Structure 1
Amino acid sequence: MFSIKKQIRRLYTSSVLGQISLSGAWVAILAARGFSLAQIGFAETIFHIVSIIFEIPSGVLADVFGRKKTLIISCLMRITGDIVMVFSNNYALVCLSIAFHALSYNFASGSGDALAYDSLKSVGQKGHFEKYASNQLVIYRTCEGISTLAAGLSLMLGYKISYSVSVVFSILQLIVLSSLIEVYLGERTQSSRVWEEIKKCFRESFMFLKQARKAMLIMFANSLVGAMDILLLFFLQAKLPMAGIPRWLLGFALLFLQAGGVLGARAILHAKKMRYRTIFVIASIVILLGILLEHSGMYVIMTLGGFMAAFADDAMQVKNNTLLQDMFPSEQRATLISIESFTFSVIMIVLSPLAGMFFEWW
């Protein structure tokens, strides 16, 4: 018998195992290996180039073949990426590892939220999705914080051991994912009509977005704000040591950044009546202020700027997820979420190398 509590609990557990690792501070790890900020920025660009190519197709596959299957594929891609990084002895292999991690991100993005929303909707509890989205961001930020808290330990142990530990967590995640129940509210696809269904999913998704301009604007606004926050937090991993922060304090500073996201994801639950446009304007101003504080050169103020940016970004993300899920039809839910991730990747491809050179120059 289907249990929504077990389903949601397993999705939470999978998220924990998928996020927590000793390699969370990957920018700091690459910097410690001697790679420049420009190279790190280009590696991030590789991530988003791969994402652009595979993001939407992975969402379509999730809608046609099942969200549980694509979550399992995502986990396998992450394991492959970690193994490649363990054996990486040059920049080319580092970029290859980043590409596999991008594929992992592609197959996971949209699938988990789509499965959760349809699971809740199937038992008449879709109103609980906003809390689910908030909890997932809390899990993400907390696990990222714990992972980056171990930044000093990762640098001492070395990247080989750090990424090997991630493989172990991914294997545990595979076990949890295998216990999920596939829930799909649309019509089931016949095996003889798979390619027709794939083309139909593409066509209807883009037709929906052509008509739903509000959804497109929300996607773009959230992607732009999220990109600014992500880049700030990424480069703070490398910039804080340059600003003189003690190595033992780096992990705690990065944990403090993630705590901002946790508080933002919780705070927005108490602002249900606030208009999305107002949230967007406030979040944008706060993140721009955070970027200015990052250039103060004082690691305490820089950390405060990162905290503020994470708070604003996650508050906006929860509101964004809830609004879009209510707009999306079940048959194209994962595809449409993937289109949002596609938009994010396009923005990141433009901003990542520019930000890498900018942060290195300033």
Structure 2
Amino acid sequence: MEVAFIRWTWLRAVLHNGWWLVTSVYLVVDAGLSPAELVLIGAVQGAFALVFEVPAGVIADTISRKWSLVVSQLLMGTAMIATGLFESFPALLATQVLWGISWTFASGSDVALITDELDRPDEINLVLTRAARAQLTGAATGLILLGLLAWATRRDVTIVIAGAAMGALALYVVLRFTEHNFVPVRTARWSTSWRTFRRGLTLVRRSRALLLIFGATFLVNGASDAAGRLTQKQLLDLGLPTAPDPMIWFTGLGVAGLVVGAIVLRLAARRISGAHAGTDYALAALAGVLSMLLFAFAWEPVVGAIAVVLLTGVVTPLTRVISTIWVNARTTTDIRATTHSFLSQVEYLGEIVCGLAISAVARLANLPLALVGCAVLFAATAVLMRQPTNEDAAV
């Protein structure tokens, strides 16, 4: 099951990240969407995902984690295929909303499934770290393979092929994943689902450790999302070459960050799975402060690129895997997917609230000041994660 899970994680990352690279160009070049329409798609998609996240997690905890993943794959594949078939804004908005909803059926369900099926508490943190590393290497592979396929054929054809492959990945889940250690609710599902939701909420409210990691996730995701939106503009302002196509430079930078992230997770696997999670999260946040200040005051594109790789290759992967391990260690089998869904909701809220605030600073003041604002969010995260929890910090 462990090998199957890691291979599935890698394959999904190949298809998802490669598809998004091609789609991000398709929406602008082929569909001709305006900046306002692109922003609206992201906002509406995030809102729908925020609403569906917890119900999807509760369904996974009461009916099936495995079949939640199957539903996710089928919906995701459908949304990806449909994206390549339309160029009108209303249709593309619908496909991206469906794509966002599809992720809610997988977030939390995947971690809950492998945790309970593996049933080895001493090993699960290392497995989750290996899965995070597989996701990064898969993402890098997808950027290269599907980017080349789109260049050799057409963007819409590549989008449809990636979507069909993503849908077919549901069959892999059906055939290779087991669910022996999960007992579904057979009767009174609605009332049980409501009780599952309330138990998850009570767990979070009563756990200082969970509240801390939720607060840190809110700040980190807001800072990272805002920095991601501003990366291309800042690098171009710093003089990033426009020949060959800037898309090549950005693709190379993305691959570099993913590869560095995989290496960092491999080197840090044992440490972040031990008793130093809070300290390591705080150190990663301090690295975020350094990357944002370096990016804000960079004097040439090479320095800016180094700052971006520091963010995407060190800060982002470390904070994400630590938060997943942290939450996973402090929840129970019956509400595991629900609790992880709460974490995903906090990620969305951070992106919406903090991200939009930083973007407003960029519009009203200037880009370097907005990046300094991201550094402030990372600094606040570092301070927050150094607070005592009065709980066993071992994860």
TM-score, normalized by length of structure 1? 0.86
Verify the 8 A CA contact 1:23 1:154 in the aligned structure 2: no
Counterpart position of 2:333 = 330
Distance 1:160 1:319, change over 3 A: same
Contact 2:45-2:100 at 8 Å conserved across structures:
yes
1:266 aligns with 2:262: no
SS in structure 1 at match of 2:251: helix
Give the C-alpha shift of residue 356 in structure 1: 5.5
Indicate how the Cα distance of structure 1 residues 280 and 166 shifts in structure 2: closer, same or farther if over 3 A, else same: same
Aligned partner of 1:318 among 301, 318, 321 = 321
Q: Matches of 2:122 and 2:208 in 1, distance apart?
A: 24
Instruction: Please name the residue that 1:171 is paired with.
Output: 167
How far 1:327 sits from its partner (Å)? 0.9
The CA distance in 2 between the partners of 1:175 and 1:156, in whole Å, is 28
Deviations 1:235-259 (A, max 9, x none): 5467656732533444222200212
Partner of 2:70: 72
Q: Give the Cα–Cα distance (whole angstroms) in 2 for the partners of residues 61 and 42 of structure 1.
A: 29
Counterpart of 2:384?
Answer: none
Supply the distance in 1 between the matched residues of 2:226 and 2:143 (Cα, whole angstroms). 15
Question: Which letter does structure 1 place at the counterpart of 2:174?
Answer: S
* Aligned with residue 306 of structure 2, among 304, 323, 331: 304
Return the offset for 1:64.
Answer: 0.5
For the 8 Å contact 1:15–1:136, the answer to whether it is kept is: yes
CA 1:324/1:102 → structure 2, altered by over 3 Å: closer, same or farther? same
Q: Distance between the aligned counterparts of 1:102 and 1:270, measured in 2? A: 33
Q: Does the 8 Å CA contact 1:142/1:259 hold for their aligned counterparts?
A: yes
Q: Please tell me whether the aligned partners of residues 219 and 354 of structure 2 are also in contact (alpha carbons under 8 angstroms).
A: no
Q: Displacement, 1:210?
A: 1.8
Q: For each residue in 1:23-42, what CA deviation from the matched residue of structure 2 results, as whole angstroms up to 9, or x when unmatched?
A: 23244443444445554333
Partner of 1:3: none
Shift of 1:355: 5.2
Shifted more, 136-145 versus 16-25: the winner is 16-25
Q: Deviations over 1:225-274 (max 9, x none)?
A: 23433443455467656732533444222200212321332233243556
Report the CA distance shift for 1:326/1:12 in structure 2 as closer, same or farther (over 3 A). Answer: same
Q: Specify the alignment match of 2:378 in structure 1.
A: none
Inter-partner Cα distance in structure 1 for 2:11 and 2:49: 22
Matches within 5 A, 1:184-223: 184-185=181-182, 188-190=184-186, 192-223=187-218
Out of 250-259 and 218-227, give the one that drifted further.
218-227
- Alignment match, 2:286: 285
User: How many Å separate the matches in 2 of 1:292 and 1:155?
Assistant: 36
1:107 aligns with 2:105: yes
2:241 to 228, 240, 244: 244
Deviation at 1:352, TM superposition (A): 4.3
* Bigger relative CO (Cα 8 Å, ≥ 6 apart): 1
Matching residue of 1:140? 135
State which drifts further: 340-349 or 80-89: 80-89
Does structure 1 retain, via aligned residues, the 8 Å contact 2:13–2:139?
yes
Amino acid of the residue matched to residue 133 of structure 1? L
Summarize the alignment of residues 40-59 of structure 1 with structure 2, pairs less than 5 Å apart: 40-59=38-57
For 2:342, which of 339, 344, 347 is the aligned residue?
A: 339
Closer, same or farther: CA 112–161 of 1 in aligned 2, 3 Å: same
Runs of 5+ consecutive residues of structure 1 not aligned to the other structure: 1-6
Distance 2:257 2:362 in 1: 18
Q: Deviations over 1:162-183 (max 9, x none)?
A: 2112123213311111121114
- 2:90 aligns with 92
Distance 2:333 2:5 in 1: 19
Aligned partners of 2:254, 2:233: CA distance in 1, in Å?
A: 11
Aligned to 1:9: 3
User: Which runs of 5 or more structure 2 residues have no equivalent in the other structure?
Assistant: 368-395
- Over 3 Å counting, the alpha-carbon distance change for 1:188 and 1:81 in structure 2 is closer
Contact 2:331 2:339 in 1 (8 A): yes
Letter in 2 for 1:98: Q
The code of the aligned residue for 1:68 comes to: K
How far 1:281 moved relative to its partner?
2.7
Give the secondary-structure state (helix, strand or coil) at the position aligned to 1:127. Answer: coil
Percentage of identical aligned residues: 17
Taking a change above 3 Å as real, the CA distance of residues 223 and 28 of structure 1, as seen in their structure-2 partners, is: farther
Mapped contact 2:291–2:308 kept (Cα < 8 A): yes
**Which is further off, 260-269 or 152-161?**
152-161
Taking structure 1 as reference, are residues 229 and 260 closer, same or farther at Cα in structure 2, changes over 3 Å only? farther
1:338 Cα deviation from its structure 2 partner: 0.3
Post-superposition offset of 1:199: 1.3
Aligned length: 351
CA shift at 1:358, angstroms?
5.9
Q: Give 1:76 shift.
A: 1.2
Match of 2:158 in 1: 162
